[in-house]
Structure formats: C-alpha cells, structure tokens
Structure 1
Amino acid sequence: MSQCVVIADDLTGANATGVLLKKMNYEAYTVMNTERIELSTLADCDCVLYPTDSRGVEPEIAYNRVHNVCNLLKGDDVKVYSKRIDSTLRGNLGSETDAMLDCLGEDYVAIAAPCFPSSGRVVVGGYMLVNGLPLHKTDIAIDPKTPVKISEAAVLFDKQSKYQVSSIQLKDLMHGKHYLADLMNQCVAGGSRIIVLDCITQEDLDLIADAVITSKLHVVAVDPGVFTATLARKLITPSQKKEKSKILAVVGSVNPNTTAQMKELWLSQRTHNVFVDTKELLEDDEKRVAEIERVADDILAACDRNAICTVTGDGIYPENRIDFKPYMERYQCSLDDVTGRINHAFAEITYRIFKAEPTFRGLYTSGGDVTVAVCERFRTAGLSLKDEVLPLAAYGQFLKGEFEGVHIITKGGSQGGRDAINQCITYLKEKLYI
C-alpha cells in the first residue's frame, strides 16, 4: 500500500503535488476513477493522489467526498496523510480538513503550513501574502466562484471548521524544532485539532516537518503541496532507495551578485560556512597547504550536523579583494597563473572533502574557473546534463572518474536573482532527499 495519501480538492492541485513528489524519486499515481483501478495496483506506488473536485461545491458535499476517499485509502502502511488545498486558500478548507480528521480518528491533528515559497505565497503574522500583497487585496478576493475576502489563514479555518484552531507565528519558529514541537503538543492539549503556522521559506517548512516528527503527533498535512513533499522526504524512503546525502557549495566568484546570493542562502537554509583566506593560497607552499587543510578539516568536522556546507572565498567582500600584481612579479607569471593557483586550491579543498566523506553526493559551484578546476581535480570525463535549474544554471552528474554520479549544479557568479543559489541548493536537496 502507498505510504503517502494526498486528497486534493482539484485535479491540477493533485498533479502539481504529484510532480513535487516525483522530483524526489517517489512513484506517484493520480487516481481519477476508483471504479477503473484496483487498490492492489496502488501497491506499486509510493504516493497516491486523489482529486475530489470539491473546491466549488457545498461544504457538506465536500466533506462527504473527502471522507469517503480517505476511508478508502487509509491504511496501516501510510506514513503521510495530506489534505491538499489551494495555494490561495480558496475552497472548503474547514469541512475537508474535518473530514480527514473524522475519518482517521481522534488522535490525528491537522498541521496547516499553507505556503508555496516559489510561487510567492507565504504566511506572515498569520496573514497570507501573495507576492507581497495581503490575500484580500488580490484578484482572489473577486474570484467568480470561490472568492476569499479574509487574509488571516487561521481565521479562515476557524470559520469553516467545527474544530478548535490554533495559530503559531514566525516568532515561535525562531526557537528551533524542540520548542516548536512542545508548542504543538500544548495546542493539542488545549483542545486544538487544527494548527496553522506561519511559513515563508523552504527552511521554515523543513523546521515545521522536523518539529512534527519530534512531537510524535499523528498529523494530516494541510497545504498546497510543498509541506507535504517536505514531510514525505523526511519520513518515506522511495521504492528505489537512495542514501541521504550531503551537499557542498564551492563559491570562488567575487561578483557582487554572488555576495547577495550567498547571504540569501545563509539566511534561508541551515548551512555551515567556511571562508577561505585567499591570500594564504598565494603565499609559500607551507601556508597554502595549511589553509587547504584548515578549510577541509573544518567542513569535515561539522558535516555530521549540517547536510549543507559552503566553502566561500573571502573575496566576496570588497575589503578582502587581492591586488594580483605583487604576486605576478614575485612568481614571474601571468594573471591567469596567479588566479589559477587560487582555483586549483579550491578544487583541492573540494577533492579532500569528497574523498574523506563519501556522503557528499551533491556539489554546487559558482564561477567558471573554479568549476573547471574542480572537474579537472576530480578527473571526470565530463558531465551528463539533466536539466536547467534556472537560466544559466545547469544540473547534471559526473561522468566517469573517481566520483562518477555525483550531482552537480554549475552557475556563473553574475547570473540569477538574489535567491538563485538558494534555488539551486533546494533543487539538489530534492534530488538527494535531504
């Protein structure tokens, strides 16, 4: 039987969630006609998605449809139950959530994390914002079929559900998963069966999922798909099992855009960063080797606690930029030779980390010269290109060499918006089930 059951209020929503799950290597089936499919067929998939076409119907009808489907699909093997809702909170949020809670039993609670970061849907201070605007000030307020005129997510659930609703806001997320798990349990102890949480970034959703697991609550994920995918990633092993892995970002670019992108990554995701003292790489061999060892050892010491690590040249800050002329004169060489010495040191750091810790299976590189140096040090025959993550950011895997199959995303330092590197790392997390 499937380990993830998603009941969606429409077909496109079911498919959109299914695609998110498929990107993480889960087998996902959308079922549109139970009369034409045997339940035994679903044993072959990790995730089953069922659209009830209930967004625009009366609440009682929506309740019955969701309850009937949930009763059909529930089972002892299911690890993730999801009520997929619209990303702008249209439809029968309350009655459909109630239906799943009633079907699954009194020990289940609904965790609503109704954000979709990549689509500009976030919840802040209890308010749903769409591309920065409160929900009631968008076109959703005048939707001809299912208008939404209230921006407060918890209020919408409270108006539609028969159950007590609690709200957890951004300030509560700042204290970590154990605090958040305790708060969830307190809400449940106080009588709540629906908990609506602020969420802005993928990192918020990871934190909420970790808190759910820590709380040991039996939950229904109520969201437009991203939280469901996050929870599934942490609880379900795909049929084609792959080990959880770590990601290393190696950034040698000094472009100002790279600085903004790295700051965004560090704010958005839990990472361990080590700055490379670039000047040390241009000194004598003893200092150069010592700096390479320092950076590599620092990453290796911290990687057990951090699935994402970053090695960043200190030149991303203008005050650390190097005047290369003295080094060109000292070594009687060209500018390319001097910068090549830096790039090859970055490559050596990367090689030592991957050699010492095989769980590093994802690599992000920024700066064309650093990328070339890494590929040369890894002795790869090339890259098997798989996808375009965003314009001028390519995803692929190493061909041949000592680290064949390692996942890599390459991007020019000047390319992309402020969140470009964050998007690339999130993409790798999905591929590697982190």
Structure 2
Amino acid sequence: MQRWLILADDLTGANDCAVAFARHGHAAAVVWGNGAAEPGDSVVAVDADSRRLPPDAAAARHRALLEAWRSPGAALFKKIDSTLRGQPAAELAETLAVLREAGQPALAIVAPAFPATGRTTEGGHVRLNGDPLEATPLWARDHTYPTAELSAVLAAAGLDAGHLPLEALRAGDAPPAAALRGALAAGTAAMVCDAATAEDLAAIARATLPLWRRVVWVGTGGLAAALAAAAPGGRAEPPPLPSLPASGGLLLVVGSVAEASRAAAERLLRAGGVHFFPIAPALLRAGPGAEWHAAAEAIAGVLARGEDALVTIGTEPAADLRQGAALTEALAMLLRPAGRRMGGLFATGGETARAVLAGLGIGSIRLLDEVEPGVPLGLTRGRAGVPVVTKAGAFGNMDTIGRARDRMRALLQGRDPE
C-alpha cells in the first residue's frame, strides 16, 4: 500500500485530508507537537500549526517538519486552506526548496478546490459558492493575499506556474498528461489546476498519481479524497466503527467567529438538550480568577453527569483577530478540568481543537470516518478511545454540530449512527 505524508497548516485541515484515506481503508493518523505515528500507519498527517504565523516563520516550521518526517518512499501532500488563509505560497516555496536540496525536484500540483463545500477553481481563480473569493465575507474577515488568483499568489513567493484549465482537464487523458509532461520538462514550479466538480478532481488524481515520485500535491480535503479513491491498496467502504464504553458528556466547543459555525451553535441551542456556556473574551484575557474557576467547574460538572456542554467564545464588535490564538490558548486552559471528564469532543477551528487536546497531553488522532464532507471523526491516542470531531470554522451548515453530536452519541452507546 502506498504511504503518504500530509503536511498541513492546521489541525482541521490535517484531519480533513487524512480521513479521506481512512475512508478508503488506509490506516491514517494525525499528529502534532510531541505526538508520534505508529508502525502500522500508512498515512500520517502532521499539523504544523502555522496558519497565523508570518511567512518566514511558517516556511521555517514547514522546513523543520518536512526534514523530520519526509521519507523517500512516501508520496507528499501539502494541505492548504481552501480560501487561502495563512501562508500557503511561502510554505510551498520552502517545501519545494527542501526537496530540491535533497535531489528530488518536484512539480507542485495546485488544486485547492473542494466542491462538496462550495469551493471551486475556475480560470485559475478561487471561487466560493460561485462568487469570486474576494467578494465573500470570509475574505473580508481574514485574508493574506491581495488576490485569489493562484498564479499571482504563487508568483509573489517566487514560484512560476502553468495553468490547466477546465476545458483541457475535461478533454480526456491526453491534454492533462501533455501539460504535465511539458511542465516537468521545463522545470516549472507549479501547475494550477481548475476543478469545479468531484469528477474534475478525480481526473487530476488519475493524471498525476503515476508521477507520485516527481510531484507534490497541494490542495484540500477534496483533492485528498480524489487521490485516496484512485490510489491502489484501499477499499471503497470505510472500516467499521469500534464500540466504545459510554463515559462523560460531550464537550462541544465553537472557537470560530465564522457565520456557519455560529449559526450551527444557535440551531443546536434551539433544539435543546445541551448546557450553554458563552465565555467572554474579557474573562479569557483576564486569566484565572474566581469567575474563571467557577466557569471551569460548572462545565466539568455538566460533563461528569453525562450531559453535554456547548462552549463558545463570545463575539466582540471590535475584536482583533490577531488575538485569536491567545484567546484559544486561554480557553483550552479553562477547559482542562472539563477535558478530563468528557466522553467526546467536537471542536470547530483547528487552533481550538489542537489547544484543547494538547492541554490534555494528547498528540495524535486515529481517523475513522466523516460526519459530512470536511467534518472528520476520529479517536484519540494516548487516552482510551475518546471520539473527536473537528470542523473548519467556515465549513458545514446549521445542522452540522447536531449531526456531529448525534454521531458521537451513537458511537458511545453502540448504536448504528445512521
């Protein structure tokens, strides 16, 4: 079975990609911090936790991780954000530099489309639900580059790029193969690939898999799913889920300000059956005190009774997104007593999930299945099988948290989750 190394800029992205391989029969794990892979893992996704770093620091972290984890016998997938948050160009440039220095020059296959979540690439430009990415609230709230035109983004990092348009991709196997051969012969750094459907991504996978020793795939869970389906050695159906003993209640944490996540939290509250704990940013900034400890004990108490707790970071009209990492770390500290009581964790926002789990000494997840596209389910390692569902902040819809809660409850109770 082909081995894979996935290098991701946050935990939710690492999970999105690894679970695609798990669903096709590969033993897939995500690791971070001091976490370690196990001998049977054929797919290892490493979370660099670099989303909010400046370009030089993000690139340096990718270099260090690639040098530590790279194996000549493993195919390489560079996970980037589907809406170009973070520093994907600088990270890719450093990744290609490491490979060149090791005598393995590679062509980057850049295909960030994830049609199942509304992300497409057309004319070399990222679109969200049909609109130019630059015209969306996501871009207005958080973006790194002046444009979502991929060749320009790559050029800013010193990477020249060819372009494989939809019409060539859909014309059969010969045009994509010819374009790839030409780019490899010319020493081009990257090939930007359009994709508007899952079949477009499948065509990219079929055209590029035979070249796995000479390419680096750059994309999201959409491309990972296409590669996992086309790669040899897997199976069509996900493995059966284990039966777990029921323990504490579910800890449901919304650390994202994205509209999709907030709407899903509101829908869950209206449905009832959960205890709600909105945590004010001012409380997190102030640090441990009487109010802090009261909130921490109240959340832990709910979970100890086997009931579910929904925790959100309150919104502030003039919030500075640069404070997000500090608030997330503070929230993870506040939730540490709750984490020792929880029977399962749902977390939206990669920084949130990583911080909560790392605070409990957990550094690895074994991926099992998806609740829905882009919302993976796994089990922690280093603690007896605690189910974990993660979701990128802008993925999903108003029912996503409820579905994740139902799926984890079914797993803990030994029921058919469907």
Q: What TM-score do the two structures reach when normalised by structure 2?
A: 0.53
Aligned equivalents of 2:179 and 2:155: distance in 1? 19
Q: Is the 8 A contact 1:182 1:215 kept in 2?
A: no
Aligned equivalents of 2:199 and 2:96: distance in 1? 27
Match of 2:66 in 1: 70
Match of 1:255 in 2: none
Aligned equivalents of 1:120 and 1:178: distance in 2? 28
Q: Is the 8 A contact 1:135 1:148 kept in 2?
A: no
Match of 1:134 in 2: 132
Q: Deviations over 1:63-95 (max 9, x none)?
A: 1111111111111331x2111000111121111
Match of 1:174 in 2: 170
Match of 1:153 in 2: 150
Aligned positions of 1:23-62 closer than 5 A:
23-34=23-34, 36-37=35-36, 41-62=37-58
Aligned equivalents of 1:18 and 1:188: distance in 2? 27
Q: Deviations over 1:363-420 (max 9, x none)?
A: xxxxxxxxxxxxxxxxxxxxxxx99989xxxxxxxxxxxxxxxxxxxxxxxxxxxxxx
Amino acid at match of 1:163: L
Q: Deviations over 1:25-48 (max 9, x none)?
A: 2211111123x53xxx43211211
Amino acid at match of 2:126: M
**Identity percentage of aligned residues:** 28
Please report how far the alpha carbon of residue 22 of structure 1 lies from its aligned counterpart in structure 2 after TM superposition: 1.9
Change (3 A) 1:388 1:53: closer
Please report how far the alpha carbon of residue 216 of structure 1 lies from its aligned counterpart in structure 2 after TM superposition: 6.7
Match of 1:94 in 2: 89
Aligned equivalents of 1:8 and 1:17: distance in 2? 9
More relative contact order in 1 or in 2 (CA 8 Å, sep 6+)?
A: 2
Match of 2:79 in 1: 84
Q: Is the 8 A contact 1:164 1:191 kept in 2?
A: no
Structure 1 portions without partners, runs of 5+: 245-385, 391-434
Aligned equivalents of 2:105 and 2:68: distance in 1? 19
Count of residue pairs the alignment pairs up: 239
Q: Is the 8 A contact 1:16 1:225 kept in 2?
A: yes
Match of 1:186 in 2: 182
Change (3 A) 1:389 1:141: closer
Aligned positions of 1:260-275 closer than 5 A:
none
- The residue matched to 1:15 in structure 2 has which SS? helix
Residue 9 (structure 1) aligned with residue 9 (structure 2): yes
Q: Is the 8 A contact 2:24 2:229 kept in 1?
A: yes
Q: Is the 8 A contact 1:2 1:43 kept in 2?
A: no
Change (3 A) 1:214 1:15: closer
Aligned equivalents of 1:388 and 1:218: distance in 2? 34
Please report how far the alpha carbon of residue 147 of structure 1 lies from its aligned counterpart in structure 2 after TM superposition: 4.4
Aligned equivalents of 2:211 and 2:185: distance in 1? 12
Q: Is the 8 A contact 2:24 2:236 kept in 1?
A: no
Aligned equivalents of 1:174 and 1:225: distance in 2? 21
Match of 2:120 in 1: 122
Aligned equivalents of 1:49 and 1:388: distance in 2? 19
Structure 2 portions without partners, runs of 5+: 238-368, 374-418
Amino acid at match of 2:6: V
Q: 1:203 aligns with which of 199, 203, 221?
A: 199
Aligned equivalents of 1:389 and 1:137: distance in 2? 26
Please report how far the alpha carbon of residue 113 of structure 1 lies from its aligned counterpart in structure 2 after TM superposition: 0.8
Q: Is the 8 A contact 1:141 1:149 kept in 2?
A: no
Aligned positions of 1:23-422 closer than 5 A:
23-34=23-34, 36-37=35-36, 41-78=37-74, 80-105=75-100, 106-144=104-142, 146-159=143-156, 161-214=157-210, 218-238=214-234, 242=235
Structural RMSD (CA): 2.6
- The residue matched to 1:122 in structure 2 has which SS? strand
Match of 1:18 in 2: 18
Match of 2:402 in 1: none
Q: Deviations over 1:50-70 (max 9, x none)?
A: 111112211111111111111
Change (3 A) 1:33 1:210: same
Change (3 A) 1:12 1:243: closer
Q: Is the 8 A contact 1:141 1:148 kept in 2?
A: no
- The residue matched to 1:182 in structure 2 has which SS? helix
Structure 1 or 2, whichever has the larger Rg, is 1
State the 4+ residue runs in structure 1 displaced beyond 3 angstroms. 146-149, 213-217, 386-390
Please report how far the alpha carbon of residue 97 of structure 1 lies from its aligned counterpart in structure 2 after TM superposition: 0.8
Aligned positions of 1:416-431 closer than 5 A:
none
Q: What TM-score do the two structures reach when normalised by structure 1?
A: 0.51
Aligned equivalents of 1:91 and 1:46: distance in 2? 28
